[in-house]
Amino acid sequence: AQRVTQPEKLLSVFKGAPVELKCNYSYSGSPELFWYVQYSRQRLQLLLRHISRESIKGFTADLNKGETSFHLKKPFAQEEDSAMYYCALNTGFQKLVFGTGTRLLVSP
């Protein structure tokens, strides 16, 4: 079965602290993984995709096939990073399977 697990509903950190939002997936094939972010009252926006191996807004994510994980990291959180973060799996069949999301709250 295809499944994405985000174990934390809420992650609360102080500005300048490191952040790691966890994502684990279950898929027997070759996964394509994404992080989407949803700022307050805005649409889901693509943040990262693992095939690009890029850093966006200071965030990075590495696919670990051994641990079936795609954790999102940022070394120094900013207040403007406060948002809902969704990990998503594309199984190659034209659909995204989403996790339940983690709300990141960065306090001053």
Partner 1 sequence: EPEVTQTPSHQVTQMGQEVILRCVPISNHLYFYWYRQILGQKVEFLVSFYNNEISEKSEIFDDQFSVERPDGSNFTLKIRSTKLEDSAMYFCASGQKETQYFGPGTRLLVL
CB of 58 to partner 1, least distance (A): 21
CB of 17 to partner 1, least distance (A): 27
User: Which residues make up the interface to partner 1 (CB under 8 A)?
Assistant: 32, 34, 36, 42-46, 49, 51, 86, 88, 90, 92-101
Nearest to 101 by CA among 47, 54, 32, 56: 47
Identify which of residues 31 and 77 has a Cβ nearer to partner 1 in the complex.
31
Contacts of 60 (CB under 8 A, 6+ apart): 48, 72, 73, 74
Identify which of residues 13 and 38 has a Cβ nearer to partner 1 in the complex.
38
Phi then psi dihedrals of residue 29, to 5 deg: -95, -155
